[in-house]
């Protein structure tokens, strides 16, 4: 028998099992790719938004993923109740609903958080649940549609799963490297919503012959598309308004990078830096933090010539280091090139660090600190300053782990010291003393101290070295705004209600520091 002409394909192709019937239905295969891509994108956006607005939390990110996967399971179960005769029409309707909800999700959550506050968590998980249910229905429906078209079971499963996983891979790479940095979370969500709506419209046109209500579907699709295009045009203005409400002060700079969300605000003479929604410094009191971070260690090292700064891409710690005329070399290791570029090339921000990043003694390297230390060669450093963000999740917790501190110790010159910002001994006592225990587990002797920084409260630091016997210096550089000999001596005194609790060191396989940090700070949140 002669094969059917490809110029007149039959939508109800009766090819026998085992034939490559899927090639007659490329729209459905493309739909699988889009479904997987968009589904993962909405999950990543929800997790990133939660981290940005509520603070980074392993528990929060895990519950978002768990809720989303649970919802997909519910959706898969509900898909079996869709009438066999209406599979394609319902699949298109679901695509349009996912596109609308997912596309507007980031804008809506930004606005809820900025203007309503408390309902944010409920709104977040409700959206995750609803989108997850809809996405969970899509793949089973596609498989049933392909089965209707007599695709062999083996080919059906392999093809659907292949494109499902390829879509997930594409988004997992493109989201942090392209979409989030270039478009921001709100517009990224809208773009993926447009993909969902676009595939729905395309399928409506492609299979219009077997859709009794193709015209109505097309009109719904065009309406969703119009709403999303309007959202795309207004997304940045909406998020700008939300951020203005979130921070209270005027936002003078905002930037999304592959690593974080950078926001700078200004009110009168106060400039503030936020990373992922977390305050990093206020110009009204940052001198207290950075003087406490640098001078107790560096002033005790009159022989110091070479200093290594890990983190601190704003250059404020480097500014304090350069107050010592004997310093010959400072190397700054900062992961995010956007940070060092911003605080080196923007005149107003460079003035905050006294143009430290332009000093010929300073070398800036944009790299992961742990990886850089593993390959770095040359003579040891007299002082290593670890000014990392707080250990709020595992990726940061590893920077406070025993192997990291042993690695730092290997790069110390004889008599050299390490100083680590160590969160608050008052608000997060177990986290603070865990850092102390970890340094000691790495074979180092420690000297704990703390300082009052109004923007943060009582903040903790630790000095560590291979030799015991650290003593606070009696002399400090001229021109310090907060520290003097008397204030410095008081910083090493801990009253009875701030004594060290029993804690475990932070090892890579347990990451106890992250658990302590989350639990300690959660008790402070209301």
* Active site positions, annotated: 387
Environment class of 317 (CB within 10 Å of its CB; exposed 0-12, middle 13-18, buried 19+): buried
User: CA angle, corner 433, sides to 430 and 435, nearest 5?
Assistant: 110
Residue 411, C-beta contacts closer than 8 angstroms, at least 6 positions apart: 308, 373, 376, 380, 381, 384
**Residue 110: which region, alpha, beta or left (left: phi > 0; alpha: psi -120 to 50)?**
alpha
Report the alpha-carbon distance of residue 514 to residue 498 in Å, rounded: 20
Query: What is the C-alpha to C-alpha distance for residues 277 and 236, in angstroms, rounded to an integer?
Result: 17
Using CA atoms, how far apart are residues 20 and 373, in angstroms rounded to an integer? 54
> Which stretch of DSSP H or E encloses residue 216?
helix 214-247
H or E stretch at 273: strand 270-275
Please give the distance of CA 482 from its chain centroid, rounded to a whole number.
34
d(Cα 305, Cα 329) in Å, to the nearest integer? Answer: 7
Residues 6+ positions from 208 with CB-CB distance below 8 Å: 214
Measure the CA–CA gap between 372 and 370, rounded to whole angstroms: 5
> Scanning the structure block, which residue is given the tokens 């907060």?
482
Q: Provide the phi-psi class of 479: left if phi over 0, else alpha when psi is between -120 and 50, else beta.
A: left
Helices (H), 376-484: 394-397, 402-410, 429-441
Three-class DSSP category at 426: coil
Report how far residue 260's alpha carbon sits from residue 237's, in angstroms, rounded to the nearest whole number. Answer: 20
DSSP category for residue 484: -
Q: Do residues 372 and 386 touch, judged by C-beta distance below 8 A?
A: no
End-to-end CA distance of the chain: 76
The enclosing H or E element of 234 equals helix 214-247
CA–CA separation, 224 and 107 (whole Å): 16
Given a contact cutoff of 8 angstroms between Cβ atoms, the answer to whether 293 and 419 are in contact is yes
Alpha-carbon distance of 475 to 59, in angstroms, equals 45
Cβ–Cβ < 8 Å for 516, 428: yes
């Amino acid at each position: 028998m002669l094969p059917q002409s490809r110029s007149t394909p039959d939508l109800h192709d009766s090819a026998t099992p085992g034939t490559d019937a899927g090639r007659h239905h490329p729209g459905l295969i493309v739909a699988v790719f889009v479904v997987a891509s968009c589904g993962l994108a909405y999950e990543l956006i929800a997790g990133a938004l939660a981290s940005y607005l509520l603070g980074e939390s392993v528990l929060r990110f895990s519950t978002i993923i768990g809720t989303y996967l649970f919802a997909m399971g519910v959706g898969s179960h509900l898909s079996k109740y869709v009438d066999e005769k209406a599979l394609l029409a319902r699949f298109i309707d679901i695509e349009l609903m996912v596109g609308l909800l997912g596309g507007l999700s980031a804008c809506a959550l930004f606005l809820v958080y900025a203007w309503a506050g408390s309902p944010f968590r409920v709104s977040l998980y409700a959206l995750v649940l609803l989108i997850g249910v809809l996405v969970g229905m899509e793949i089973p429906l596609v498989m049933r549609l392909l089965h209707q078209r007599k695709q062999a079971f083996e080919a059906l499963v392999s093809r659907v799963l292949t494109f499902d996983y390829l879509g997930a891979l594409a988004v997992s790479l493109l989201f942090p490297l392209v979409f989030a940095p270039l478009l921001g979370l709100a517009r990224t969500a809208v773009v993926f919503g447009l993909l969902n709506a676009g595939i729905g419209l395309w399928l409506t046109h492609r299979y219009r012959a077997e859709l009794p209500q193709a015209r109505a579907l097309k009109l719904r699709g065009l309406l969703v598309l119009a709403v999303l295009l309007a959202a795309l045009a207004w997304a940045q203005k909406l998020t700008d308004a939300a951020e203005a409400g979130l921070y209270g002060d005027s936002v003078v700079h905002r930037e999304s990078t592959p690593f974080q969300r950078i926001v700078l605000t200004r009110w009168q003479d106060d400039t503030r830096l936020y990373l992922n929604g977390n305050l990093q410094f206020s110009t009204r009191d940052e001198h207290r933090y950075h003087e406490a971070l640098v001078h107790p260690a560096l002033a005790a090292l009159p022989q110091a010539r070479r200093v290594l700064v890990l983190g601190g891409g704003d250059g404020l710690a480097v500014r304090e280091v350069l107050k010592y005329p004997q310093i010959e070399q400072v190397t700054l290791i900062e992961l995010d090139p956007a940070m060092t570029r911003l605080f080196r090339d923007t005149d107003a921000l460079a003035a905050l660090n006294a143009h430290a990043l332009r000093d010929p003694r300073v070398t800036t390297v944009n790299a992961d600190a742990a990886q850089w230390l593993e390959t770095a060669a040359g003579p040891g450093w007299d002082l290593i300053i670890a000014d990392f963000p707080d250990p709020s999740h595992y990726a940061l917790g590893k920077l406070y782990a025993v192997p990291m501190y042993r690695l730092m110790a290997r790069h110390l010159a004889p008599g050299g010291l390490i100083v680590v910002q160590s969160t608050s001994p008052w608000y997060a006592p177990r986290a603070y003393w865990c850092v102390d225990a970890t340094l000691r587990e790495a074979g180092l002797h420690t000297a704990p101290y703390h300082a009052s920084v109004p923007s943060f409260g009582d903040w903790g630091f630790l000095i560590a070295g291979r030799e015991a016997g650290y003593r606070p210096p009696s002399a400090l550089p001229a021109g310090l705004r907060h520290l003097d000999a008397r204030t410095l001596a008081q910083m090493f005194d801990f009253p009875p209600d701030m004594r060290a609790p029993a804690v475990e060191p932070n090892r890579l396989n347990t990451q106890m520091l992250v658990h302590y940090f989350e639990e300690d700070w959660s008790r402070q949140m209301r």
